[in-house]
Protein backbone atom coordinates (compact mmCIF):
# COMPACT_ATOMS: atom_id res chain seq x y z
CA UNK A 1 0.00 0.00 0.00
CA UNK A 2 2.70 2.44 1.12
CA UNK A 3 4.80 1.42 -1.93
CA UNK A 4 2.03 2.36 -4.31
CA UNK A 5 1.52 5.61 -2.43
CA UNK A 6 5.25 6.45 -2.55
CA UNK A 7 5.13 6.20 -6.32
CA UNK A 8 2.80 9.12 -6.64
CA UNK A 9 4.04 11.21 -9.60
CA UNK A 10 3.44 14.32 -7.49
CA UNK A 11 6.37 13.32 -5.25
CA UNK A 12 8.87 13.12 -8.09
CA UNK A 13 7.46 16.24 -9.79
CA UNK A 14 7.80 18.31 -6.63
CA UNK A 15 11.24 16.92 -5.92
CA UNK A 16 12.33 17.75 -9.48
CA UNK A 17 11.04 21.32 -9.05
CA UNK A 18 13.16 21.77 -5.91
CA UNK A 19 16.14 20.15 -7.63
CA UNK A 20 15.82 22.68 -10.47
CA UNK A 21 15.27 25.66 -8.12
CA UNK A 22 16.43 24.95 -4.57
CA UNK A 23 14.80 27.40 -2.16
CA UNK A 24 11.66 27.69 -4.32
CA UNK A 25 8.62 28.48 -2.17
CA UNK A 26 5.94 25.87 -1.71
CA UNK A 27 3.44 28.27 -3.26
CA UNK A 28 5.59 28.82 -6.37
CA UNK A 29 6.28 25.09 -6.77
CA UNK A 30 2.54 24.36 -6.49
CA UNK A 31 1.75 27.05 -9.09
CA UNK A 32 4.45 25.74 -11.45
CA UNK A 33 3.07 22.20 -11.22
CA UNK A 34 -0.59 23.22 -11.28
CA UNK A 35 -1.06 21.59 -7.88
CA UNK A 36 -3.76 22.65 -5.42
CA UNK A 37 -2.27 24.29 -2.35
CA UNK A 38 -3.60 21.71 0.13
CA UNK A 39 -2.24 18.86 -1.99
CA UNK A 40 1.15 20.58 -2.30
CA UNK A 41 1.31 20.97 1.49
CA UNK A 42 0.54 17.28 1.92
CA UNK A 43 3.08 16.21 -0.72
CA UNK A 44 5.77 18.40 0.83
CA UNK A 45 5.02 16.87 4.25
CA UNK A 46 5.61 13.40 2.81
CA UNK A 47 8.89 14.46 1.19
CA UNK A 48 9.99 16.02 4.49
CA UNK A 49 9.01 12.78 6.28
CA UNK A 50 11.15 10.82 3.79
CA UNK A 51 14.13 13.11 4.53
CA UNK A 52 14.17 14.32 0.95
CA UNK A 53 13.22 17.96 1.58
CA UNK A 54 13.48 20.45 4.38
CA UNK A 55 11.03 23.32 4.83
CA UNK A 56 12.26 26.65 6.09
CA UNK A 57 10.47 29.91 6.69
CA UNK A 58 10.22 31.88 3.46
CA UNK A 59 10.78 35.61 3.24
CA UNK A 60 7.41 37.39 3.64
CA UNK A 61 5.83 37.92 0.21
CA UNK A 62 3.46 40.72 1.21
CA UNK A 63 0.67 38.64 -0.31
CA UNK A 64 -2.39 37.78 1.73
CA UNK A 65 -3.14 34.31 2.90
CA UNK A 66 -1.24 31.55 4.65
CA UNK A 67 2.54 32.18 4.77
CA UNK A 68 4.41 29.85 2.47
CA UNK A 69 7.68 28.03 3.13
CA UNK A 70 10.91 27.66 1.17
CA UNK A 71 11.84 24.15 0.04
CA UNK A 72 15.44 23.04 0.39
CA UNK A 73 17.27 19.72 0.03
CA UNK A 74 17.17 17.76 3.30
CA UNK A 75 20.55 17.95 5.12
CA UNK A 76 20.53 14.13 5.37
CA UNK A 77 19.06 13.60 1.91
CA UNK A 78 20.31 11.59 -1.08
CA UNK A 79 23.62 12.38 -2.77
CA UNK A 80 25.33 11.62 -6.07
CA UNK A 81 29.11 11.12 -6.23
CA UNK A 82 30.26 12.37 -9.63
CA UNK A 83 33.70 12.29 -11.24
CA UNK A 84 35.08 13.89 -14.35
CA UNK A 85 38.37 12.78 -15.82
CA UNK A 86 39.91 15.09 -18.41
CA UNK A 87 43.07 14.81 -20.49
CA UNK A 88 45.19 16.21 -17.63
CA UNK A 89 43.16 16.25 -14.41
CA UNK A 90 40.34 14.61 -12.45
CA UNK A 91 37.65 16.00 -10.19
CA UNK A 92 35.16 14.41 -7.83
CA UNK A 93 32.14 16.16 -6.33
CA UNK A 94 29.54 14.80 -3.93
CA UNK A 95 26.39 16.65 -4.88
CA UNK A 96 23.10 17.08 -3.04
CA UNK A 97 19.66 17.66 -4.47
CA UNK A 98 19.64 21.11 -6.08
CA UNK A 99 23.23 20.79 -7.29
CA UNK A 100 25.05 21.97 -4.14
CA UNK A 101 28.48 20.39 -3.71
CA UNK A 102 28.95 19.00 -0.19
CA UNK A 103 32.44 17.60 -0.73
CA UNK A 104 34.99 17.73 -3.53
CA UNK A 105 38.39 16.51 -4.53
CA UNK A 106 40.67 17.10 -7.49
CA UNK A 107 44.11 16.33 -8.81
CA UNK A 108 46.35 16.68 -11.84
CA UNK A 109 47.57 13.59 -13.65
CA UNK A 110 50.25 12.66 -16.12
CA UNK A 111 48.06 10.41 -18.26
CA UNK A 112 48.83 7.16 -16.46
CA UNK A 113 45.61 5.15 -16.51
CA UNK A 114 46.22 3.18 -13.30
CA UNK A 115 47.24 6.27 -11.36
CA UNK A 116 44.03 8.09 -12.33
CA UNK A 117 41.77 5.10 -11.63
CA UNK A 118 43.40 4.73 -8.21
CA UNK A 119 42.98 8.42 -7.36
CA UNK A 120 39.31 8.63 -8.40
CA UNK A 121 38.44 5.28 -6.78
CA UNK A 122 40.08 6.43 -3.53
CA UNK A 123 38.10 9.67 -3.61
CA UNK A 124 34.82 7.77 -4.25
CA UNK A 125 35.75 5.40 -1.41
CA UNK A 126 36.32 8.29 1.04
CA UNK A 127 32.91 9.67 0.06
CA UNK A 128 31.29 6.26 0.60
CA UNK A 129 32.90 5.89 4.03
CA UNK A 130 31.58 9.30 5.02
CA UNK A 131 28.07 9.20 3.51
CA UNK A 132 27.31 5.51 2.99
CA UNK A 133 23.98 4.70 1.39
CA UNK A 134 23.04 8.38 1.20
CA UNK A 135 25.02 8.10 -2.05
CA UNK A 136 22.43 6.85 -4.52
CA UNK A 137 24.60 6.83 -7.66
CA UNK A 138 28.20 7.11 -8.75
CA UNK A 139 28.69 8.76 -12.13
CA UNK A 140 31.90 9.16 -14.10
CA UNK A 141 32.57 11.29 -17.18
CA UNK A 142 35.55 10.20 -19.25
CA UNK A 143 37.17 11.66 -22.39
CA UNK A 144 36.48 8.82 -24.80
CA UNK A 145 34.02 6.37 -26.27
CA UNK A 146 32.00 4.52 -23.64
CA UNK A 147 30.25 1.25 -24.38
CA UNK A 148 28.19 -0.24 -21.52
CA UNK A 149 30.34 1.25 -18.73
CA UNK A 150 33.58 0.36 -20.52
CA UNK A 151 35.80 3.10 -21.79
CA UNK A 152 36.61 1.65 -25.20
CA UNK A 153 39.19 4.22 -26.25
CA UNK A 154 40.28 7.64 -25.03
CA UNK A 155 42.19 8.94 -28.04
CA UNK A 156 43.84 11.85 -26.26
CA UNK A 157 45.20 9.66 -23.45
CA UNK A 158 45.58 6.48 -25.48
CA UNK A 159 43.67 4.55 -22.83
CA UNK A 160 41.85 1.46 -24.01
CA UNK A 161 39.31 -0.94 -22.58
CA UNK A 162 38.92 0.41 -19.06
CA UNK A 163 36.08 -1.01 -16.96
CA UNK A 164 34.64 2.06 -15.22
CA UNK A 165 33.04 -0.14 -12.56
CA UNK A 166 36.56 -0.29 -11.07
CA UNK A 167 35.98 3.29 -9.86
CA UNK A 168 33.13 2.29 -7.54
CA UNK A 169 33.95 1.12 -3.99
CA UNK A 170 33.63 -2.67 -3.75
CA UNK A 171 31.28 -2.36 -0.78
CA UNK A 172 28.93 -0.15 -2.79
CA UNK A 173 28.20 -2.72 -5.50
CA UNK A 174 24.43 -2.29 -5.08
CA UNK A 175 24.67 1.41 -6.03
CA UNK A 176 24.50 2.32 -9.72
CA UNK A 177 27.68 3.31 -11.53
CA UNK A 178 26.87 5.50 -14.53
CA UNK A 179 29.82 5.82 -16.87
CA UNK A 180 29.60 8.15 -19.84
CA UNK A 181 31.42 10.21 -22.38
CA UNK A 182 32.37 13.70 -21.16
CA UNK A 183 30.77 15.46 -24.14
CA UNK A 184 27.54 13.52 -23.62
CA UNK A 185 27.38 14.55 -19.97
CA UNK A 186 28.27 18.16 -20.85
CA UNK A 187 25.34 18.21 -23.28
CA UNK A 188 22.99 16.84 -20.63
CA UNK A 189 24.13 19.60 -18.27
CA UNK A 190 23.26 22.22 -20.91
CA UNK A 191 19.78 20.80 -21.39
CA UNK A 192 19.01 20.30 -17.69
CA UNK A 193 20.48 23.51 -16.27
CA UNK A 194 22.45 25.39 -18.92
CA UNK A 195 22.04 27.13 -22.27
CA UNK A 196 19.51 24.62 -23.63
CA UNK A 197 17.02 24.64 -20.73
CA UNK A 198 13.47 24.62 -22.05
CA UNK A 199 14.30 23.05 -25.41
CA UNK A 200 12.70 19.76 -26.30
CA UNK A 201 15.44 18.70 -28.72
CA UNK A 202 18.95 20.12 -28.66
CA UNK A 203 22.30 19.17 -30.13
CA UNK A 204 25.43 19.76 -28.08
CA UNK A 205 28.84 19.88 -29.75
CA UNK A 206 31.84 19.62 -27.46
CA UNK A 207 35.09 20.66 -29.06
CA UNK A 208 38.44 19.74 -27.53
CA UNK A 209 40.77 17.36 -29.34
CA UNK A 210 38.13 16.73 -31.98
CA UNK A 211 34.40 17.00 -31.58
CA UNK A 212 31.88 14.92 -29.68
CA UNK A 213 28.47 15.67 -28.33
CA UNK A 214 24.99 14.47 -27.83
CA UNK A 215 21.44 14.77 -29.06
CA UNK A 216 19.19 15.47 -26.07
CA UNK A 217 15.54 14.71 -26.70
CA UNK A 218 12.83 15.47 -24.13
CA UNK A 219 15.42 15.74 -21.36
CA UNK A 220 17.12 12.46 -22.16
CA UNK A 221 20.38 11.87 -23.96
CA UNK A 222 19.96 9.70 -27.03
CA UNK A 223 22.64 7.15 -26.19
CA UNK A 224 22.03 4.34 -28.66
CA UNK A 225 22.13 0.62 -27.93
CA UNK A 226 25.42 0.58 -26.06
CA UNK A 227 25.61 4.16 -24.83
CA UNK A 228 28.12 5.13 -27.50
CA UNK A 229 25.96 7.54 -29.56
CA UNK A 230 27.05 11.13 -30.06
CA UNK A 231 30.46 10.43 -31.55
CA UNK A 232 29.85 13.22 -34.04
CA UNK A 233 33.58 13.56 -34.71
CA UNK A 234 33.41 10.26 -36.57
CA UNK A 235 30.89 11.41 -39.17
CA UNK A 236 32.62 11.46 -42.56
CA UNK A 237 32.90 15.28 -42.75
CA UNK A 238 36.70 15.16 -42.82
CA UNK A 239 39.44 14.54 -45.31
CA UNK A 240 38.52 11.40 -47.26
CA UNK A 241 42.18 10.36 -47.62
CA UNK A 242 43.00 10.53 -43.92
CA UNK A 243 42.63 7.69 -41.44
CA UNK A 244 41.17 8.67 -38.04
CA UNK A 245 42.50 7.36 -34.71
CA UNK A 246 39.25 5.37 -34.43
CA UNK A 247 40.21 3.27 -37.46
CA UNK A 248 37.74 4.76 -39.95
CA UNK A 249 38.59 6.80 -43.02
CA UNK A 250 37.58 10.44 -43.44
CA UNK A 251 36.19 11.27 -39.99
CA UNK A 252 35.33 14.89 -39.15
CA UNK A 253 38.01 14.77 -36.43
CA UNK A 254 40.71 14.42 -39.09
CA UNK A 255 40.22 18.13 -39.84
CA UNK A 256 39.48 19.30 -36.27
CA UNK A 257 41.81 17.46 -33.90
CA UNK A 258 45.17 18.51 -32.48
CA UNK A 259 47.14 16.95 -35.33
CA UNK A 260 44.96 18.73 -37.92
CA UNK A 261 45.42 22.09 -36.18
CA UNK A 262 49.17 21.46 -35.96
CA UNK A 263 49.31 20.87 -39.73
CA UNK A 264 47.43 24.12 -40.34
CA UNK A 265 49.93 26.15 -38.33
CA UNK A 266 52.96 24.19 -39.57
CA UNK A 267 53.91 22.55 -36.27
CA UNK A 268 54.52 18.94 -35.20
CA UNK A 269 51.63 16.99 -33.67
CA UNK A 270 51.24 18.18 -30.06
CA UNK A 271 51.49 16.00 -26.95
CA UNK A 272 48.67 17.82 -25.19
CA UNK A 273 46.22 18.42 -28.04
CA UNK A 274 43.63 20.28 -25.95
CA UNK A 275 46.11 22.75 -24.45
CA UNK A 276 47.63 23.21 -27.93
CA UNK A 277 44.26 23.92 -29.56
CA UNK A 278 43.46 26.42 -26.79
CA UNK A 279 46.79 28.19 -27.39
CA UNK A 280 46.15 28.41 -31.13
CA UNK A 281 42.72 29.96 -30.49
CA UNK A 282 44.27 32.42 -28.04
CA UNK A 283 46.89 33.43 -30.60
CA UNK A 284 44.13 33.80 -33.21
CA UNK A 285 42.19 36.05 -30.83
CA UNK A 286 45.35 38.15 -30.46
CA UNK A 287 45.33 38.56 -34.26
CA UNK A 288 48.27 36.33 -35.23
CA UNK A 289 47.65 35.67 -38.93
CA UNK A 290 48.63 31.98 -39.24
CA UNK A 291 46.56 31.01 -36.19
CA UNK A 292 43.69 33.22 -37.29
CA UNK A 293 43.62 31.46 -40.65
CA UNK A 294 43.59 28.08 -38.88
CA UNK A 295 40.79 29.17 -36.54
CA UNK A 296 38.71 30.35 -39.48
CA UNK A 297 39.20 27.02 -41.25
CA UNK A 298 38.13 25.24 -38.05
CA UNK A 299 35.12 27.56 -37.85
CA UNK A 300 34.07 26.72 -41.42
CA UNK A 301 34.39 23.01 -40.67
CA UNK A 302 32.38 23.34 -37.47
CA UNK A 303 29.63 25.31 -39.24
CA UNK A 304 29.42 22.86 -42.11
CA UNK A 305 29.22 19.87 -39.78
CA UNK A 306 26.64 21.59 -37.58
CA UNK A 307 24.50 22.12 -40.68
CA UNK A 308 24.66 18.41 -41.49
CA UNK A 309 23.63 17.53 -37.94
CA UNK A 310 20.78 20.04 -37.97
CA UNK A 311 19.56 18.76 -41.34
CA UNK A 312 19.53 15.21 -40.00
CA UNK A 313 18.40 15.70 -36.40
CA UNK A 314 16.14 18.78 -36.49
CA UNK A 315 17.01 20.32 -33.10
CA UNK A 316 15.72 23.61 -31.70
CA UNK A 317 19.18 24.75 -30.67
CA UNK A 318 22.85 23.88 -31.06
CA UNK A 319 25.08 24.54 -28.05
CA UNK A 320 28.85 24.53 -28.44
CA UNK A 321 31.06 23.72 -25.45
CA UNK A 322 34.67 22.93 -24.59
CA UNK A 323 36.82 25.13 -26.85
CA UNK A 324 33.68 25.97 -28.87
CA UNK A 325 32.95 29.34 -27.23
CA UNK A 326 36.56 30.46 -27.87
CA UNK A 327 36.22 29.38 -31.51
CA UNK A 328 32.88 31.19 -31.88
CA UNK A 329 34.48 34.34 -30.42
CA UNK A 330 37.28 34.38 -32.98
CA UNK A 331 35.62 32.79 -36.04
CA UNK A 332 31.89 33.18 -35.39
CA UNK A 333 31.32 34.67 -38.84
CA UNK A 334 32.97 31.70 -40.56
CA UNK A 335 30.95 29.27 -38.46
CA UNK A 336 27.70 31.05 -39.27
CA UNK A 337 28.43 31.42 -43.02
CA UNK A 338 29.35 27.75 -43.45
CA UNK A 339 26.35 26.74 -41.35
CA UNK A 340 23.98 28.76 -43.53
CA UNK A 341 25.49 27.35 -46.73
CA UNK A 342 25.08 23.79 -45.48
CA UNK A 343 21.48 24.04 -44.31
CA UNK A 344 18.62 22.69 -46.41
CA UNK A 345 16.87 25.64 -48.04
CA UNK A 346 13.63 25.17 -46.13
CA UNK A 347 15.55 25.83 -42.91
CA UNK A 348 16.77 29.24 -44.08
CA UNK A 349 14.22 31.00 -41.93
CA UNK A 350 14.08 30.03 -38.29
CA UNK A 351 17.30 28.00 -38.40
CA UNK A 352 18.25 26.81 -34.90
CA UNK A 353 20.85 29.18 -33.46
CA UNK A 354 24.37 28.02 -32.61
CA UNK A 355 25.17 29.39 -29.14
CA UNK A 356 28.02 29.07 -26.64
CA UNK A 357 27.40 26.55 -23.87
CA UNK A 358 26.86 27.79 -20.32
CA UNK A 359 29.25 25.36 -18.68
CA UNK A 360 32.92 25.37 -19.56
CA UNK A 361 35.18 22.79 -18.00
CA UNK A 362 32.42 22.10 -15.41
CA UNK A 363 30.03 20.64 -17.99
CA UNK A 364 31.00 16.95 -17.79
CA UNK A 365 30.97 16.91 -13.94
CA UNK A 366 27.67 18.79 -13.75
CA UNK A 367 26.09 16.49 -16.33
CA UNK A 368 27.36 13.34 -14.58
CA UNK A 369 25.75 14.49 -11.31
CA UNK A 370 22.53 15.35 -13.19
CA UNK A 371 22.44 11.87 -14.71
CA UNK A 372 22.74 10.43 -11.20
CA UNK A 373 19.89 12.63 -9.97
CA UNK A 374 17.74 11.60 -12.91
CA UNK A 375 17.59 8.19 -11.16
CA UNK A 376 16.99 9.59 -7.69
CA UNK A 377 14.07 11.72 -8.86
CA UNK A 378 12.00 8.87 -10.32
CA UNK A 379 9.28 6.87 -8.56
CA UNK A 380 11.56 3.80 -8.22
CA UNK A 381 14.41 6.04 -6.99
CA UNK A 382 12.17 7.47 -4.27
CA UNK A 383 10.99 3.94 -3.38
CA UNK A 384 14.59 2.79 -3.00
CA UNK A 385 15.33 5.76 -0.77
CA UNK A 386 12.22 5.13 1.31
CA UNK A 387 13.17 1.45 1.70
CA UNK A 388 16.53 2.54 3.18
CA UNK A 389 14.58 4.14 6.00
CA UNK A 390 14.44 7.53 4.31
ZN1 LIG B 1 36.97 8.37 -36.45
C-alpha 250 to ligand 1 mean position (Å)? 7
Mean pLDDT for the stretch of residues 314-338: 97
pLDDT per position as a tens digit, 129-153: 999 999 999 999 999 889 889 999 8
C-alpha 235 to ligand 1 mean position (Å)? 7
Same fold, 79-185+364-387 and 196-357: yes
Architecture of the structural domain at 196-357: 2-Layer Sandwich (3.30)
C-alpha 207 to ligand 1 mean position (Å)? 14
Short-list 100, 122, 126, 125, CA closest to 109: 122
Q: Which residues neighbour 170 within 8 Å (Cβ) at sequence distance 6 or greater?
A: none
> Mean pLDDT in the chain?
92
Per domain, the residue ranges of the chain are 2-73, 79-185+364-387, 196-357
Superfamily name with CATH number, domain 79-185+364-387: ATPase, nucleotide binding domain (3.30.420.40)
pLDDT of 84 reads 97
C-alpha 361 to ligand 1 mean position (Å)? 23
Q: Are 234 and 250 in contact (CB under 8 A)?
A: no
C-alpha 161 to ligand 1 mean position (Å)? 17
What is the phi/psi pair of residue 188, to 5°?
A: -60, -40
Q: How confident is the model at residue 66 (pLDDT cuts 50, 70, 90)?
A: low
Give the whole-angstrom CA distance, residue 354 versus residue 319.
Answer: 6
Give the whole-angstrom CA distance, residue 60 versus residue 67.
Answer: 7
C-alpha 335 to ligand 1 mean position (Å)? 22
pTM score: 0.89
**Minimum mean pLDDT among 47-56, 156-165, 291-300: which range?**
156-165
pLDDT per position as a tens digit, 164-207: 999 999 999 999 999 999 999 999 999 999 999 999 999 999 99
C-alpha 208 to ligand 1 mean position (Å)? 15
pLDDT per position as a tens digit, 212-252: 999 999 888 898 887 788 999 999 999 899 999 888 999 99
CATH topology of domain 2-73: Arc Repressor Mutant, subunit A (1.10.10)
Residue 60: pLDDT above 80?
no
Q: How confident is the model at residue 271 (pLDDT cuts 50, 70, 90)?
A: confident
Amino acid sequence: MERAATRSPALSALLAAVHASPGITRADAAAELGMASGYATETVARLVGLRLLEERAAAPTGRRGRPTTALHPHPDGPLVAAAAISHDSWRVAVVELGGGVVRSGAGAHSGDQEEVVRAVAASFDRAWRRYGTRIRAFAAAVPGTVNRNRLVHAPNLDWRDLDLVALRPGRASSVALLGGNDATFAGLAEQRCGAAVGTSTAVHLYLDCGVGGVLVDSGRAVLGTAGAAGEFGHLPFGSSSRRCGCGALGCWNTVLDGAAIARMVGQPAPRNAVAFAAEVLEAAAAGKPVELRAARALGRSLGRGAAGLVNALDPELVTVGGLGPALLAVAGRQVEAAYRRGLMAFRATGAPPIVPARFGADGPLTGAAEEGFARVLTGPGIDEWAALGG
